[in-house]
């Protein structure tokens, strides 16, 4: 299997995960298990496979930006990086859904956070944290 | 308990039972199976070759066989007395065995990762020292078959338990010389060093010259093959088997294993016609 083929499989799978998270209230437990747990786990295994297969032949490193760019010049490593994003963004998405539920935030309010996490990772997380802060400030707490 | 050991077909051992009887080895086996998943992925992705073969074939062979080894030990743990299974010294021994297995996997997978061979690799002081150390680890982890077999024999509960004990002990007795010779030989081939590719499926044994791995395979799997053969005969017969069936099976299989060893030493392939 070439990196391109794995890439073309990974993207639709990630999309499936995100659609699932968006529709979480329809079937909470199965969706969370599949989209918040199983799919990120599968991506993690795929990531590990990429590192095992491609790391030793790659050049560059983590110590400088040019070296990181050199690292990602290897298609297999770039793919690993992409799968890393897919895995962790989806894991964070699952956490956002659960965290919102625990904090009494309506699920539809998390949809922008989910969309932004899907597209721009940490930005979605920032939005959720801001939402949590607002909710906390609006709720009366003992002094 | 006696009904269980009277016939191995009466009450099959479940995963739950294995988890109860031998939590450490059962969990380690499941961990090895889980670890095989990234190996499979790497097998699909890696374009490198080591001796004309994908680098991840060997790590997979070892994770699969070591998982099977541990699951078999867990399966037979029901024949170990409770007081021994709970003994602190026994549990420490099991931890040592599991550590050796972990080190073996680290070495074999690590070598594949960097694109070199693990076995017979003495190219640098590091790899040479590793090879020696891993030899010691291999003997240690294999000793569990002897220890299990000895304990089960000493605490036998009927014919099947005696057969299991004998199979376990013979696993050790046959593996030590076959593996020992293999490791000292410098290569698994007996004859002109050739490519690893094009071997007998699924193990890749040479179809043209002697391959010492054949005997090593049968030796290490005595503990599965002989009890399984006995159970199948029992199921086919539908009644108690004649006295001496177990002894006969164990002896016949041991002779067969030795025969494959001699065949390889003679430079002849196993099932060369296929």
Q: Are B137 and B104 in contact (CB under 8 A)?
A: yes
Q: Could you give the CA distance from residue B183 to residue B107 in angstroms, rounded to a whole number?
A: 15
Could you tell me which chain A residue has the CA closest to the CA of B46?
A53
Q: Could you give the CA distance from residue A10 to residue A141 in angstroms, rounded to a whole number?
A: 44
Chain A CB contacts of B50 under 8 Å are none
Report CB contact under 8 Å: A56, B113: yes
The model's pLDDT over B2-46, given as tens digits with 9 standing for 90+, comes to: 444 445 666 678 999 999 999 999 999 999 999 999 999 999 999
The model's pLDDT over A59-118, given as tens digits with 9 standing for 90+, comes to: 999 999 999 999 999 999 999 999 999 999 999 999 999 999 999 999 999 999 999 999
Report CB contact under 8 Å: B48, A57: yes
End-to-end CA distance of chain A: 60
Q: Could you give the CA distance from residue B37 to residue B25 in angstroms, rounded to a whole number?
A: 19
Please name the member of B37, B46, B48 whose beta carbon is closest to the beta carbon of A45. B37
Q: Report how far Cα A67 is from the mean position of its chain's Cα atoms.
A: 25
Please give the pLDDT value at position B100. Answer: 98
Q: What's the ipTM?
A: 0.88
Which residue, B236, B85, B245, is CA-closest to B163? B245
Please name the member of B45, B109, B114 whose beta carbon is closest to the beta carbon of A53. B45
Please give the pLDDT value at position B122. Answer: 86
Which uninterrupted H or E stretch holds B189? strand B189-190
Q: Which one of A2, A41, A47, A49 would you mutate to disrupt binding with B, by most B Cβ within 10 Å of its Cβ?
A: A49
Could you tell me which chain A residue has the CA closest to the CA of B54?
A53
Could you tell me which chain A residue has the CA closest to the CA of B114?
A56
The model's pLDDT over B206-261, given as tens digits with 9 standing for 90+, comes to: 888 888 999 999 999 999 999 999 999 988 988 788 888 999 999 999 999 999 99
DSSP secondary structure letter of residue B274:
-
Is B38's Cβ below 8 Å from some Cβ in A?
yes
């Amino acid at each position: 299997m070439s990196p391109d083929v794995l890439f073309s499989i990974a993207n639709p799978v990630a999309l499936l995960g995100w659609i699932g998270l968006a529709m979480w209230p329809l079937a909470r437990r199965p969706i969370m298990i599949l989209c918040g747990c199983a799919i990120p786990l599968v991506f993690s295994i795929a990531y590990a496979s990429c590192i095992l297969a491609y790391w030793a032949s790659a050049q560059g490193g983590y110590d400088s930006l040019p070296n990181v760019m050199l690292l990602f010049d290897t298609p297999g490593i770039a793919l690993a990086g992409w799968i890393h994003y897919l895995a962790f963004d989806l894991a964070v998405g699952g956490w956002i859904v659960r965290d919102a539920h625990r904090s009494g935030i309506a699920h539809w309010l998390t949809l922008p956070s989910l969309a932004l996490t899907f597209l721009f990772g940490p930005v979605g997380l920032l939005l959720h944290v801001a939402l949590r802060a607002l909710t906390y400030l609006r709720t009366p707490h003992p002094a | 308990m006696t009904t269980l050991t009277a016939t191995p077909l009466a009450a099959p051992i479940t995963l739950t039972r294995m988890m109860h009887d031998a939590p450490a080895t059962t969990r380690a086996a499941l961990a090895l199976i889980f670890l095989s998943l990234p190996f499979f992925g790497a097998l699909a992705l890696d374009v490198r070759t080591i001796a004309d073969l994908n680098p991840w074939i060997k790590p997979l062979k070892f994770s699969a066989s070591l998982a099977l080894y541990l699951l078999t030990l867990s399966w037979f743990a029901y024949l170990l007395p409770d007081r021994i299974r709970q003994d602190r010294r026994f549990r420490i021994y099991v931890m040592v065995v599991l550590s050796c297995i972990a080190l073996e996997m680290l070495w074999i997978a690590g070598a594949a990762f960097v694109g070199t061979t693990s076995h017979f690799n003495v190219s640098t002081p590091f790899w040479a020292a590793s090879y020696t150390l891993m030899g010691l680890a291999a003997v240690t982890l294999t000793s569990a078959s002897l220890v299990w077999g000895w304990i089960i024999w000493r605490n036998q509960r009927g014919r099947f338990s005696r057969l299991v004990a004998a199979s376990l002990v013979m696993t050790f007795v046959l593996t030590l010389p076959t593996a020992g010779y293999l490791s000292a030989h410098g290569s698994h081939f007996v004859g002109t060093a050739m490519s690893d590719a094009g071997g007998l499926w699924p193990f890749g044994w040479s179809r043209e010259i002697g391959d010492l791995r054949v005997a090593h395979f049968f030796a290490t799997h005595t503990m599965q093959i002989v009890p399984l053969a006995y159970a199948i005969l029992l199921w086919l017969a539908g009644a108690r088997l004649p006295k001496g069936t177990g002894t006969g099976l164990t002896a016949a299989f041991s002779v067969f294993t030795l025969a494959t060893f001699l065949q390889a030493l003679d430079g002849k392939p196993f099932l060369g016609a296929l």
